A = this chain, B = another copy of it.
Amino acid sequence: MAGLIKPLNSVYDQFRRLPGVGNKSALRLAYHIIDMPEEEVRRLAETLLQAKREIRFCKECFNLTDSDVCEICADTGRDHSMICVVEQPQDAMAMERSHGYTGVYHVLHGCLSPLDGIGPENLRIKELLFRLEKEDVKEVILATNSNVEGEATASYLAQLLRHQPVMVSRIARGLPMGGDLEYADEVTLAKALENRTPIKE
């Protein structure tokens, strides 16, 4: 940015590259860094490097972990016969927050996106197939996002797994809880209608 002295401008540039940080926030953060005690800046810098050094992928499910196997995979209290397939570690975390799932996960680390050059070989798909061979899995829940790429990835996986002796399901798509019909988009409404469930009396 014009008018900034060089070291401050470098900080500004680095913050600008982070997601969701615009020009004004980057400038504010840069000035904040200069105001912080050196000890705190050092702690911030070290924390970033340490996290990058310590965090790796769980060798079972490829979620983030700081040991060999993540806490969920290591938990014998969870149902290891049910694998929920998600795109990103943050998706597994969102599922955990819902407190509605007791199985384990498999993190693909992305979704099929031919435009970005991301094909099946770039995702952790063969690792999923390997788990199905090795472990006694009864159900695979496809919990990729409900956008074009996520749906395509789910379809691809459903096709790939169709001859496997395992049940394959897709998370429901419909009206979000608390959502008004009036404000829902057509595709969501169509899905909600298509996936209607009978009410028992």
Residue numbers of A with Cβ under 8 A of B are 3-8, 10-11, 14, 18-21, 25, 27-34, 36, 38, 41-55, 64-66, 70-71, 88-90, 93, 96-97
Contacts and interface: CB of A to CB of B under 8 A. Distances in A.
B19 A66 contact: no
Contacts of A53: 38
A66 B7 contact: yes
Contacts of A45: 44-46, 48-49
> Top 7 nearest A-B pairs by Cβ distance?
A45-B45, A7-B51, A7-B54, A41-B52, A11-B51, A10-B47, A14-B47
A14 B47 CA distance: 8
Contacts of A5: 55, 64-66, 70-71
Nearest to A96: B3
Contacts of A19: 28-29, 32
Contacts of A88: 31
A5 to B, nearest CB: 5
Contacts of A31: 88-90
Interface of A (DSSP majority class): helix
Given A3-B93, A20-B25, A49 B41 contact: yes
A44 B7 contact: no
A6 to B, nearest CB: 6
Contact of A7 (B28, B50, B97): B50
A45 B52 CA distance: 11
A71 to B, nearest CB: 8
B18 A32 contact: yes
A51 B34 CA distance: 7
Contacts of A51: 7-8, 10-11, 30, 33-34
Contact of A66 (B6, B28, B30, B41): B6
Nearest to A30: B51
B14 A20 contact: no
A41 B70 CA distance: 23
